[in-house]
Structure 1
Amino acid sequence: MSGQITLPFGLFEVDYTRYSNRQLAAVPLAVLAVSLVVIAGTFALTGTPADPGVEFTGGTELRVAVDAPNDGAAREQIQSAFSTTPESVRSVAAADNTYIVTFQANQGDAPSTTQLENQARQAGFEIRSIDAVGPSFGADTQLLALGGVAIAFLGMSLLVFAMFRTFVPSIAVVISAFSDIVIPVALMNLLGIELSLGTVAALLMIIGYSVDSDILLNNHVLRRSGDFYTSVGSAMRTGVTMTLTSLAAMIVMTITATLFGIQLLSSIGTILVFGLTADLMNTYLLNLSLLRWWKFEGVAR
């Protein structure tokens, strides 16, 4: 039985018969383990799986225009203008001399929004916008957002088990989807991307992408006639094409948003790029190895 499969666009051919199930699962499981360690470290430090942004901790975000000869001088003016050191200072690429200055409510002696506004005006900054979130409201928002992700994942898991009604193929989808979420969250911590409503939305989108590709693979293997590798090849030609198309679109969006200084879209795009890449690995290595074990060595034999 030939296990050689040609991927879409003639990228390359892969012969699955050359690799054992342990070899196929080793890489995604190792990446998952490292990601869990990163998230555990972040949770120990912050109490959340990723560093929460102003929307979840509460605080104030100012968008100011600074008259300075260069970026370094502008940042020095901003740092010295306020009585409390800003949590972050980000330049807006699409708007010359414009910066987003963030103060978190948990900084201890963080000044009020009125004080920040007065200090910015005294420093000669032009205030473009001010957004403030109360600490209690931010905490409630964080709880609702993370709860939404958990409920979405639980609902997806129940739906998968209801569809396949077989433990191994169902748990393969759940594990792959779990890894698809965990890996981007770990990379968020490493890249300094904060947890916000936008990034939570990106994680919810990843759940959808993951379930789509995993169910496609499982359906072809479990419910279509033909040998195992013929079914896998058919699923891969469709699934990999869809994922690569989405991945290309997300890469373009991320680059464009970064160039124009649209921080939220840049963060969402980055998370989706890593999530879709992880989905390719988990679906066609981890999920496939579990399906093959179940088909030839497990209870389905």
Structure 2
Amino acid sequence: MARFEVPEVDYTRYSNRQLAAIPLVVLTVALLVIGGAYATTGAPVDPGLDFTGGTELRVAVDAPSDTQAREDIREAFTATPDSIQRVGTSDVYIVTFQTEGSETAQNEFTRQLESEAGEAGFDVRSIEGVGAAFGSETQQRALIGVVAAFAGMAALVFALFRTFVPSIAVVISAFSDIVIPVALMNALGIELTLGTVAALLMLIGYSVDSDILLNNSVLRRSGDFYESTYRAMRTGVTMTLTSIAAMAVMAIVASFFGIGLLASIGTILVFGLVADLMNTYLLNVSLLRWYKFEGVAR
């Protein structure tokens, strides 16, 4: 049976600045992408139906080709669809419309879409509407949830280590692990929904787990700095790579079957976990090594 072995990295070949350079450059680029998105759209990432309000239809379309089906869908409705997604290789399509207005207007718009779909000969499998006011409230609650989770994580980390540099290393790594996937969501066109918010919250947990494992091994266990780092890497890298493989499989399978939410969650987690490997074993290691040999712990 094949066994995976984590290779031992010779950190002595690199200075702390060299180790920290790549994660910091990637983080800077990610922040610029998010800043650019916010400047142009007013949001750090494109919000989905859960946060903007609108209607989602699942319709079966009898058409000879995917191109023809999409054209038939656009012609069937007086309103312009915000997005049209095919479910796997089936004849079912997910059509979304973003709307503004009161709940009464939203309900009337939903009934109109259902009527137009029936007149076009589409088989309406499901229809769901979200009011703009409810979507805005949901967006605020999701933002509060992410901020509260991050603040709670930071407080717990500072309470555990009670020293600034090791604690701030964990917090910076967790922050970067969230920012990088959010930037990639802009690049890949993944919308911010309740599901993708849950994925970002999961990344906080993954990040803290690997970083605390490293910090504990270096600061609280006996042994040379590099021996302690490798000991933590053997466990941390194995766990993270296993999670990456599982999330990649989920994203691929979900994409094949047209389950957009699971595909988005899997994609975000894959990129976030890859970022976690970089931040933990480059940025965090550089800060811990500086703390151990050059900082206040000297």
Rounded Cα–Cα distance in structure 2 between residues aligned with 1:186 and 1:34: 9
Q: Does the alignment pair 1:86 with 2:81?
A: yes
| Paired position in structure 1 for 2:99 | 105
Tell me the CA shift for residue 10 of structure 1: 3.3
1:259-270 correspondence to structure 2 within 5 Å: 259-270=256-267
> Is 1:251 the counterpart of 2:226 in the alignment?
no
User: Is 1:294 the equivalent of 2:291?
Assistant: yes
Superposed displacement of residue 198, structure 1: 0.2
Residues 161-240 of structure 1 mapped to structure 2, 5 A cutoff: 161-240=158-237
In 2: Cα distance, 1:165 partner to 1:11 partner: 30
- After TM superposition, list the pairs within 5 Å mapping 1:105-144 onto structure 2: 105-106=99-100, 112-144=109-141
Offset from partner CA, 1:192-250 (integer Å, 9 cap, x none): 00000000000000000000000000000110011100100100001001101111111
Structure 2 unaligned blocks of 5 or more = none
Aligned partner of 2:59 in structure 1 is 64
User: Matched residues in 2 for 1:104 and 1:44: separation?
Assistant: 21
The residue number in structure 2 matching 1:274 is 271
Corresponding letter in the other structure for 2:48: G
Between the aligned partners of 1:286 and 1:175, the Cα distance in structure 2 is 9
> Does residue 1:52 correspond to 2:47, yes or no?
yes
Say which SS state the counterpart of residue 85 (structure 2) adopts.
Answer: strand
In structure 2, what residue type is equivalent to 1:244?
Answer: L
3-state SS of the aligned residue for 1:14? coil
Q: Work out whether 1:31 is the aligned partner of 2:26.
A: yes
**1: CA distance between counterparts of 2:161 and 2:8?**
29
Matched letter for residue 34 of structure 1: V
What secondary structure is seen at the aligned counterpart in 2 of 1:295?
Answer: helix
CA distance in 1 between counterparts of 2:195 and 2:100 reads 21
Secondary structure of 1:10's counterpart equals coil
Percent of aligned pairs with the same amino acid? 72
Deviations 1:242-265 (A, max 9, x none): 101111111111111011111000
Code of the aligned partner of 1:100: I
Secondary structure class of the residue paired with 1:129 = strand
* CA–CA distance in structure 2, aligned partners of residues 49 and 167 of structure 1: 29
Give the secondary structure class of the aligned counterpart of 1:99: strand
* Secondary structure, aligned partner of 2:124: strand
- Give SS of 1:291's match: helix
* Structure 1, 111-120 or 157-166: larger mean CA deviation: 111-120
| TM-fit CA distance, 1:118 | 1.0
- Cα distance in 1 for partners of 2:277, 2:74 equals 43
Shift of 1:122: 1.1
Residue 73 of structure 1, aligned match among 45, 58, 68: 68
Which residue in the other structure is 1:20 paired with?
A: 15
**Distance across 2 between alignment mates of 1:262 and 1:117:** 22
Deviation at 1:11, TM superposition (A): 5.4
Superposition TM-score, scaled by structure 2 size: 0.95
- 1:41 paired to 2:63: no
How many angstroms apart in 1 are the aligned matches of 2:198 and 2:100? 24
Distance across 2 between alignment mates of 1:115 and 1:249? 42
Aligned structure 1 segments of 4 or more residues deviating by more than 4 angstroms: none
Asked if the contact 2:6–2:233 (Cα under 8 Å) also holds between the matched residues in 1, the reply is: no
Q: How many residue pairs were aligned?
A: 292
- Matched to 2:264, the amino acid is S
Could you tell me which runs of 5 or more consecutive residues in structure 1 were left unpaired when the two chains were aligned: 1-7
Q: Shift in Å at residue 123 of structure 1?
A: 0.9
CA shift, 1:22, in A, is 0.5
Q: Measure how far apart 1:49 and its partner are.
A: 1.8
What is the CA–CA distance in structure 1 between the aligned matches of 2:249 and 2:289, rounded to whole Å? 35
